[in-house]
Chain A
Amino acid sequence: MPRPAIRAHSHSHQAHLRQKPQIKELLPTLKRLAGYLARRKGLLLLVVLMVAASSLLGLLGPFLVGTAIDDFIIKEDKHGLLLLLIQLGVVYVFYSLSIFLQNYWMAGIAQKTVCEMRTELFAHLHQLPLSFFDKRQHGELMSRVTNDIENISSTLNSSVIQIASSVLTLTGAITVMLYLSPILTAVTLVIVPLLYVGMNWITSRTRRLFKEQQRHLGELNGFVEEAVSSKHIVKMFSQEEKIAMEFSERNAKLKKAGYWAQTYSGFIPKLMNMLNNLSFALIAGAGGLLALNGLVTVGMIVIFAEYSRQFTRPLNDLANQFNTLLSAVAGAERVFDMLDTEKEEQERKDLLRLDEVSGDIEFRRVSFSYEKGKQTIKEINFEANRGDMVALVGPTGSGKTTIINLLARFYEQDSGAIFIDGHDSSTISRQELRKHMGFVLQESFLFEGTIRENIRYGRLNASDEEVETAARAANAHSFIMKLLDGYETKLQHEGAGISQGQKQLLAIARAILADPAILILDEATSSIDTITEMYIQEALDRLMKGRTSVVIAHRLNTIRRADQILVLNRGRIIERGTHDQLVQEEGHYAELIAASEA
C-alpha cells in the first residue's frame, strides 16, 4: 500500500545515511551531553577525585602485597608483616570506599541529569505548536521520553567513571612506558592507528544502525499505542490478525536493525583483544631483536610487556564503553532532535498584559491554511461585541473549528488580524489571551485522578464548594453523586468508566469554573441528551450573560438564540445575520433549516 508521507520521510533519512559518519561526528552530541553533566561540576569533580584515589589505591595494593612477600615473609619478620598487613587492610578499605563513593555520587549525577532531560523535553513539548502534534504518533513521541532517554541513563551511570579511570591509567601507563623505553613505546603505539581505523569502520555502521534501531523502536511504540487505544474497533471488526501482521512488519524491521547494531558493536571487544595480542607479539619480536643487538635488557622487555598490558587494558575498557556510548548517542540525537524543533513562534517581550477583558472580538480579513496551497479559511471578517453569542454554522470541513483555533491562537493566521478589545491579538501573549477564554472542546480531556481534580482543572485554586457549585451548574452534580465515591471517584485513563456525555458534562463544569470573559464551545453539546442539554442550556445562558461566546452547534435551539449567525462554506462566510433575517433571505441557511425540518 502506498504511504506517501512515510516514504518521503525515509527518503530524506537515507540521503542522510549516504554520507559516511565517522567517530568525529559523535562529538557534537557528546559535547552536548557533557554540557548536561557539567551542571553538577562540584559532585563530578568529587567523582573524578575518587576515581583518581581508587586508581592509586588500586596500584598501591599489589605493591604492598609484593613488599609483604619480599621483605617480610621471606625474611620471616612477623611484626613487620603484621604492621604491613594492617596497612594493607586500611588501603583495601579506602579502596572500596573510594569505589563506593564514586559510584554513589555518579548514580545521583546521572539520574538527576536524565531527570532534567526528561523535564526539559516535556516542557519543550508544551511549547511546540499544535501543527507539530498533527504529524506525529503519540507512541513515537513517548518512546523518546522512555526508550531513548533510558539508553542515555544506563550509559551515563557507567561510562563517566570508566572513561575517567581509563584515561587516568592510560596516561600513567604511557608515562612509565616512555620512561622505560621510548622505542618499545613507539612499537606498542603502532596498534593505535589500527585501532582508530577499526573503530571508525565499526562506528560508521553502528552509529546509523543504533539510530535506526531507536527509530524502529519508536515506530513500534507508536503502532502499539494506536492499536491499544483503538482496541474496541479492532475487536469489533475482528481485525486482530491485521494488527498482528502490521505489528510483525515493524517488529521485523526492529529486529533487523537491532541484529546488525548488536553484531557490529560486538566486534569492538574482539578487535581489542586481537590488537592486544598483536601488540604483545610485536613487543616480543621487536624486543627480541633489540635485545640481540644489546639495545634493551631482557628484564626490560619483561617489565615492558607487563606495562603494555596496563596500557591495553584501559584501552580495552574504553573500547567497550564506546559501545554503550554509541547507543546513548543514538538516543540523545533523537532527544536533541526534538528539543531543537522550533517552539511556537517566539513571542516578543513587549507583549500586552490584559488584566481585564470585556470581550469584543473582531476578525479582519483572516486567512489560514494548514497545508500550503490549500486554504482552509479565506478572508474571514466578523465582529462580536461584549456579551454577544456568535454561532458558526456550515458543513463539516467548512472551517468552523479553524476559526476557533485561530481565536485561541493554537495556530497563527497567514494573513489578516484578530482583535480582542481592540488589541491586535498577536501583540498579546498567548498565556494572557487564553487566561480570559473558557473552552469546551470536541474532545474532553480527562486525566487519571478524581472527578474533583478533573473539574478543578478549570481553576486550580478553586475551593471544594466552588467545584461543586460549578458541577451543579453544569448539571453534573447528580450523576457524580450516583458514583460510588462521589467527587472522589477515581477516573481511569482517558476517563474510562463514565460515558461520553458525562465526560462532556465534566468539561462544561470545568469551563464554568474557569469563569472566562470569552467562551468557546466546539460541538460540545452533541453527545448530551437533550433533556440534560436543556439544563445545560440554562446554565450556559446564565454563564453567557455578559460574556462573549463563539459556538459551533448543530441544534436549532442553540443557533436560534445567537445574536449573530455566520454561515460558512468552503472557508468563506457566505451568509450572516440573525435567525429571522437569514430565514427571510431564503439562502443557504434557510435551506439548511428546511432540510432539518423536512
Chain B
Amino acid sequence: MGAVLSYLKPYKNYMAFAWLLMLVELAVELMHPLFMAKIIDEGIVQQDMGAVYKWGAFMLGTSLLAFAAGIINSFVAAHVGQNFGFDLREKMIDKVQSFSFASYSRFAASSLITRMTNDVTQLQNAVFMSLRIMLRAPLMVIFGTVMALFVHAKLTIILIITIPLMLFFLLKMMKKSSSLFRSVQQRLDGVNNVMQENLIGIRIIKAFLRWKYEGSRFQQANERLMAQTIRVLRVVETTTSVLLVVMNSSLIVILWFGFAEFSNGTATAGEIVAVINYATRIISSLSIFTFILMAFSRGRASSQRIGELLEEPEEQADQRWKGAAFQAGSGEISFEGVSFSFPGSKVPVLDGVTLGIQPGKTAAVLGATGSGKSTLFYLIPRLYEPDKGVIRIDGQDISTIQPASLREQIGFVPQEAHLFTGTVRENIAWGKEDATMEEIMEAARRAQIHETIDELPEKYDTMIGQKGVNLSGGQKQRLSIARALIRKPLILLLDDSTSALDVKTEESLLSALREESCTTIIITQKISTALQADQIILLEDGRIAAAGSHEELENCNDLYRRILASQYGKGGMPYAKASH
C-alpha cells in the first residue's frame, strides 16, 4: 500500500495547501456560533441594529472567505486526485507491458483491466475525500473533547475513555472491511471475465444457442459479487450502529455523573449542558467516520490490488534481459540442442532441437498440432527463453542480446491476425511509426491486399479492428503480413498465417515473399506451401523428425510420406511430377 501511496509524493505541496484551505473552512464554521451569539446578545436583545449589521457583515464576510477557500479546495483536491490516478494508470500500463509471459498468466486480462480502471477510481475517490473532509471529523472530535475538558474535566473522563476505544474499534473494522472489499473487487474481476469471454465468443454462443447457459454462468459471478458487496456493506453499517450506541450511552453516563456533581455543587447546570453539547457534536461527526471507513477500506483494498500489479517483477529486471545490441548480419539462424517447457509443466514442448537456416533462405516447419511449432517461433524474438541450448542469429547467442534490438529485425505474422482499432493505414504502419504512404502501399501490394483496400469505402482510411468493417479472415491475415513486411525485416516469421487464403492468393503472396531478401520461416500445414521453401523441417512431439529438401524427405521419411499421402492421395504426387 505504501508503494502506491508514494505516488502522492509529487503532490504533497498541493495536499498541504488543500488541508490548509480545509482548516480555513473549519475555522470559519467554528467561529459562526460566536457571531451568532453576538448578533443575538449585542444586537437583537439590546435592540441595536448597528450591532446586528456589524456582526452580520462579519458573518457574511467570513462565509465568503470560507466559500472561496472551499472553491479553491475543490480545484486543488481534484487536481491531486486526478493526477494521482493518471500517474498510477501510466505506471500500470508500463508495468503490464513489461510483464513476462509468466506474469501474464498470473493476472487474467479482465483483472488487469479492472485494476487499471475501477480500482484506480476507488483509490482516487479515497484521496479526493481525504483532502476534503478527512481532517474535519478528527478535528471535530479533538476540538469537542478539548473544549469539554475546559468546561468540566471530570465529566469529560468518560469521553476520554470511550473515544480511543472507539477509534481502535474503527481501525479494526477498517482492516476487516478492507479485506472484504478486496474480495468484492476480485468478484468484480469474475464478472468482467465472463463478460469478456462472451464478447469474444459471441458468434459461437449464438450458433450453439447457449445464451441461457452463459446467462447462468454470468448470474453466478454476478450473485457472488452481490453477496459479498452486501456482506461488506452490512459490516460497515453494523460498525456505525455499534459506535452510535456506545457514544450515546456515554451521554447517559455524563448525565448520571452530572447529577452527582451538581448535587455536590461542583458543576453548574450550564456546564453540564455545555459538555453534553460538545459530546453531541462529536457523535454527529461520527457519520463522517462511517463515510471515511467505507472509502478508506475500499481504497486500501484497491491500493493493495494496484500494488500487487506494480510489484510484479519486470521482464527487463531479469538479468538475462540486459545485453548487447544486436548486430544485424545476413539473417542466419541456428538452434543448438534447444529445449523448452512451460512453467509448471513437466512435459517439454521442445526437446533438444538442433537446426540451421541459411541467410535469405526459406524454411517451412511442418508438424502435428501441438508438436511445438509455435513455441519454436516464440523463442526467436525471445518471447520465451529456452531451458537448455543456444539459439544464434548471425553467430550471436541471442540470450546475450537485448530483445528490443533483436525484435526490431523480426517481422512476425501470428496465427490470428490481431488487428487494432484504427484505420487500415494505421494498422499497416503499426510496425513502423514513420512509414510514408508509399511504403504503406508498397507493403500492401506485396502482401496482396492493396487491391482489396482500394475497394474499401474509404480505402486506406477505412476503420478496422474491434469496431471496424467486416474483413474476411484472409484479408485480415494479409493486412497482418503487410504490417510485418513494412519493417523490412531481416527475419520473417509466418505462423500458419496463410491458412485462410485461397490457393491462388497464397501462390502470388509466396512468390512476392520470395523476392524479399529476408530469411523466412513458415509454419504451415499445407505441403503445397512447404514445397515453396528451400528447406522443410518436420517436427514431431517437440523433436526434429527430419529436415531437408522435399526430395530428401520424400525418400527417407515415413511421416513425411504419410503427410504427403494425406494431402494428395496415395497414388497422385502432382508436385513431385511438377517439380521434375
Starting from the known contacts A266-B70, A408-B206, 12 additional A-B residue pairs (CB-CB under 8 Å) come to: A76-B262, A115-B223, A137-B421, A291-B47, A395-B505, A397-B471, A493-B109, A526-B500, A529-B369, A534-B566, A554-B499, A555-B567
B20 within 8 A of A: no
With A5-B467, A274-B64, A526-B499 already in contact, the answer to whether A229 and B109 are too (CB < 8 A) is yes
Interface string of A110-148 (1 = CB under 8 A from B): 011011001100110111001001111111011101110
30 inter-chain pairs at a CB distance below 8 angstroms, sorted by A residue, are A5-B467, A65-B255, A65-B276, A76-B259, A81-B255, A95-B244, A126-B205, A139-B113, A153-B229, A220-B89, A227-B96, A228-B113, A233-B412, A244-B90, A251-B93, A259-B79, A262-B78, A273-B63, A298-B44, A395-B474, A396-B501, A458-B208, A493-B109, A493-B110, A497-B342, A500-B374, A500-B415, A501-B370, A531-B563, A554-B503
Chain A min CB distance to B169 (Å): 15
| CA–CA, A150 and B371, complex, Å | 45
A448 within 8 A of B: yes
B117 touches A126 (CB 8 A): no
Chain B min CB distance to A60 (Å): 12
Contacts of B470 in A (CB 8 A): 134, 370-371, 376
A435 within 8 A of B: yes
Interface string of B490-504 (1 = CB under 8 A from A): 000000100111111
With beta carbons under 8 angstroms apart, the residue of B99, B110, B241, B423 that contacts A1 is B423
| CA–CA, A435 and B478, complex, Å | 35
A118 touches B191 (CB 8 A): yes
A498 touches B248 (CB 8 A): no
CB-nearest residue of chain B relative to A431?
B209
With beta carbons under 8 angstroms apart, the residue of A236, A396, A523 that contacts B381 is A236
CB-nearest residue of chain A relative to B369?
A501
Question: Which of A1, A233, A527: most chain B Cβ within 10 A?
Answer: A233
Q: Which of A67-75, A166-174, A345-353, A359-367 is the interface stretch?
A: A67-75
Contacts of A410 in B (CB 8 A): 203, 206-207
A63 within 8 A of B: no
A502 within 8 A of B: yes
B1 within 8 A of A: no
B202 within 8 A of A: yes
A28 within 8 A of B: no
| CA–CA, A289 and B48, complex, Å | 10
B317 within 8 A of A: no
Contacts of B371 in A (CB 8 A): 529
B520 within 8 A of A: no
A225 touches B196 (CB 8 A): yes
Interface string of B104-128 (1 = CB under 8 A from A): 1100111011101110010010001
CB-nearest residue of chain A relative to B452?
A397
B356 within 8 A of A: no
CB-nearest residue of chain A relative to B268?
A74
With beta carbons under 8 angstroms apart, the residue of B218, B467, B527 that contacts A134 is B467
Chain B min CB distance to A251 (Å): 5
Contacts of A457 in B (CB 8 A): 208, 210, 213
Report the count of interface residues on A (CB-CB < 8 A). 186
A395 touches B502 (CB 8 A): yes
CB-nearest residue of chain A relative to B562?
A531
Question: How many of chain B's residues touch chain A, expressed as a range?
Answer: 35 or more
B93 touches A396 (CB 8 A): no
B408 touches A397 (CB 8 A): no
Contacts of B352 in A (CB 8 A): none
B325 within 8 A of A: no
Interface string of B236-265 (1 = CB under 8 A from A): 011011101100110110011011001100
Interface string of A415-443 (1 = CB under 8 A from B): 00000000000000001001101010111
| CA–CA, A114 and B416, complex, Å | 37
Chain A min CB distance to B184 (Å): 10
Q: Which of A12-20, A98-106, A333-341 is the interface stretch?
A: A98-106
With beta carbons under 8 angstroms apart, the residue of B202, B366, B431 that contacts A529 is B366
| CA–CA, A100 and B238, complex, Å | 6
A111 touches B109 (CB 8 A): no
B446 within 8 A of A: no
Question: Which residues in chain B, 450-492, are within 8 Å of chain A measured between CB atoms?
Answer: 452, 457-458, 461, 463, 465-475, 478, 483, 487
B74 touches A557 (CB 8 A): no
B85 within 8 A of A: yes
Interface residues of B, dominant DSSP = helix
| CA–CA, A431 and B210, complex, Å | 10
Q: Which of A37-45, A181-189, A275-283 is the interface stretch?
A: A275-283
B192 touches A145 (CB 8 A): yes
With A96-B244, A224-B112, A226-B421 already in contact, the answer to whether A280 and B269 are too (CB < 8 A) is no
| CA–CA, A595 and B275, complex, Å | 99
With A104-B234, A115-B226, A133-B202 already in contact, the answer to whether A240 and B504 are too (CB < 8 A) is no
B436 within 8 A of A: no
Q: Which of A84-92, A463-471, A541-549, A573-581 is the interface stretch?
A: A84-92
A22 within 8 A of B: no
With A259-B79, A263-B75, A502-B369 already in contact, the answer to whether A136 and B467 are too (CB < 8 A) is yes
A95 touches B40 (CB 8 A): no
B387 within 8 A of A: no
B208 touches A439 (CB 8 A): yes
| CA–CA, A482 and B206, complex, Å | 31
With beta carbons under 8 angstroms apart, the residue of A103, A305, A396 that contacts B475 is A396
| CA–CA, A269 and B233, complex, Å | 25
A92 touches B249 (CB 8 A): yes
CB-nearest residue of chain B relative to A150?
B118
B458 touches A221 (CB 8 A): no
**Which 5 pairs from chain A and chain B are nearest by CB?**
A396-B474, A501-B369, A445-B201, A266-B74, A270-B70
Chain A min CB distance to B205 (Å): 7
With beta carbons under 8 angstroms apart, the residue of A3, A62, A221, A533 that contacts B422 is A3
Chain B min CB distance to A444 (Å): 8
B502 touches A447 (CB 8 A): no
Chain B min CB distance to A476 (Å): 10
A146 touches B82 (CB 8 A): no
B563 touches A89 (CB 8 A): no
Contacts of B378 in A (CB 8 A): 232
B200 touches A527 (CB 8 A): no
With beta carbons under 8 angstroms apart, the residue of B63, B83, B527 that contacts A255 is B83
Contacts of A269 in B (CB 8 A): 70
A118 touches B370 (CB 8 A): no
With A145-B195, A238-B404, A457-B210 already in contact, the answer to whether A1 and B422 are too (CB < 8 A) is yes
Chain A min CB distance to B240 (Å): 7
B543 within 8 A of A: no
B259 touches A112 (CB 8 A): no
B566 touches A118 (CB 8 A): no
A266 touches B369 (CB 8 A): no
With A99-B241, A103-B240 already in contact, the answer to whether A397 and B474 are too (CB < 8 A) is yes
Contacts of A104 in B (CB 8 A): 234, 237
CB-nearest residue of chain B relative to A598?
B578
Question: Which residues in chain B, 27-79, are within 8 Å of chain A measured between CB atoms?
Answer: 29, 32, 36, 39-40, 43-45, 47, 49, 52-53, 55-56, 59-60, 63-64, 66-67, 70-71, 73-75, 77-79
